């Protein structure tokens, strides 16, 4: 059995309201790498016949918005969908709270990182709590008998191929194929015929002592002068930028 974790994260296209103590999104969406994890899980189901569950994690504001992503996962081929409400807390507490319900899975897939993570990596922490192996930055998965053959993206375009035993947690970066498109009417169909089961989990709250701020706003600076002068200034800028 495969369990995939999909997190509701801020929709960066719609924007963020950033104040010193908090970051407020206008809208939420599924974490992109988690969607790749769903696709990878469905690919494994098609290849080897696994059963796949998707578990959605969302805070109170995103609790209904995550439904779209979970129904889409079912439309893509996932068998069952669950969702859990997350309080204001850290990935460490979430991993601890999830460990009981995740024990039943041979393979747990999720995105290597969520776009709003800054303290700990949930993917790695889940493996730590369950005391099972973790491989992150995964771009491909195959099964060979009892073994998992995992392709891990390294720097410089290199790929590491690793062999390990289930159960394991894999942090996905991208799936072997882009997530399949689900036509609107198909999504509506799935919404009518399927249910998302809510799991009531008691998760310890934790607030971190951090401050937020916006990055400095870049404005285009025009470089002027004769062709020679411009070339000189550009050369200087380039040298600074690439070192």
User: Where in 55-94 is the site for other proteins (CB under 8 A)?
Assistant: 92
Q: Any contact of residue 48 with other proteins (CB under 8 A)?
A: no
> How far lies 50's CA from each of 40, 106, 120, 231, in Å?
12, 10, 30, 60
Residue of 4, 6, 10, 53 interacting with other proteins (CB under 8 A): 10
Q: Kindly state the smallest distance separating residue 20's Cβ from other proteins, in Å.
A: 10
Q: Segment 150-169, which members bind other proteins (CB under 8 A)?
A: 152-155, 157-165
What are the backbone angles phi and psi of residue 155, rounded to the nearest 5°? -70, 160
4: Cβ contacts below 8 Å, ≥ 6 apart: 34, 37, 38, 41, 52, 53, 54, 55, 73, 78, 108, 109, 110
Residue of 183, 192, 200, 217 interacting with other proteins (CB under 8 A): 183
- Is residue 16 within 8 A of residue 10, CB to CB? The reply is yes
Which stretch, 52-60, 97-105, 184-192, 194-202, contacts other proteins (CB under 8 A)? 184-192
Residue of 46, 100, 103, 118 interacting with other proteins (CB under 8 A): 118
Residue of 1, 133, 142, 166 interacting with other proteins (CB under 8 A): 133
Q: Any contact of residue 145 with other proteins (CB under 8 A)?
A: no
Which residue number, 202 or 211, has a Cβ lying nearer to other proteins? 211
- DSSP 8-state symbol, 48: H
Q: Any contact of residue 193 with other proteins (CB under 8 A)?
A: no
Q: Which of 54, 75, 46, 35 is nearest to 174 (CA)?
A: 35
Q: Kindly state the smallest distance separating residue 112's Cβ from other proteins, in Å.
A: 7
Draw the binding track, 206-225, toward other proteins (x: CB under 8 A; -: no contact): --xxxxxxxx--x-xxxx--
Residue of 79, 117, 142, 176 interacting with other proteins (CB under 8 A): 117
In angstroms, the CA 159 to CA 221 distance is 39
Q: Any contact of residue 24 with other proteins (CB under 8 A)?
A: no
Which residue number, 11 or 79, has a Cβ lying nearer to other proteins? 11
Q: Any contact of residue 146 with other proteins (CB under 8 A)?
A: no
Q: Any contact of residue 192 with other proteins (CB under 8 A)?
A: no
Q: Which of 98, 97, 125, 109 is nearest to 52 (CA)?
A: 109
- Is residue 165 within 8 A of residue 146, CB to CB? The reply is yes
Between helices 32-48 and 66-76, what is the axis angle to 10°?
Answer: 20
3-state secondary structure of 20: coil
The residue count for binding other proteins (CB under 8 A) is 78
Residue of 49, 184, 192, 200 interacting with other proteins (CB under 8 A): 184
In angstroms, the CA 183 to CA 122 distance is 31
Q: Kindly state the smallest distance separating residue 229's Cβ from other proteins, in Å.
A: 10
């Amino acid at each position: 059995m495969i369990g995939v974790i999909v997190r509701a994260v801020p929709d960066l296209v719609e924007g963020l309201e950033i104040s010193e103590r908090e970051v407020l999104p206008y809208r939420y969406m599924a974490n992109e790498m988690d969607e790749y994890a769903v696709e990878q899980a469905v690919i494994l189901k098609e290849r080897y016949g696994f059963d796949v569950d998707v578990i959605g994690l969302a805070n109170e504001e995103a609790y209904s918005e995550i439904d779209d992503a979970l129904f889409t996962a079912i439309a893509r081929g996932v068998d069952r969908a669950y969702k859990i409400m997350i309080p204001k807390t850290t990935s460490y507490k979430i991993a601890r709270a999830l460990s009981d319900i995740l024990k039943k899975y041979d393979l747990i897939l999720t995105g290597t990182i969520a776009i709003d993570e800054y303290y700990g990596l949930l993917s790695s922490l889940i493996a730590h709590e369950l005391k099972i192996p973790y491989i992150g930055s995964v771009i491909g998965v195959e099964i060979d008998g009892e073994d998992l053959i995992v392709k891990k993206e390294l720097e410089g375009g290199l790929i590491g191929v690793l062999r390990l035993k289930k159960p394991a947690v894999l942090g996905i970066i991208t799936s072997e194929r882009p997530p399949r498109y689900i036509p609107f009417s198909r999504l509506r169909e799935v919404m009518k015929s399927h249910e998302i089961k809510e799991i009531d989990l008691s998760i310890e709250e934790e607030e971190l002592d951090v401050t937020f701020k916006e990055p400095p706003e870049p404005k285009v600076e025009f470089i002027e002068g004769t062709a020679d002068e411009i070339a000189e200034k550009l050369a200087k800028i380039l040298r600074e930028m690439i070192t």
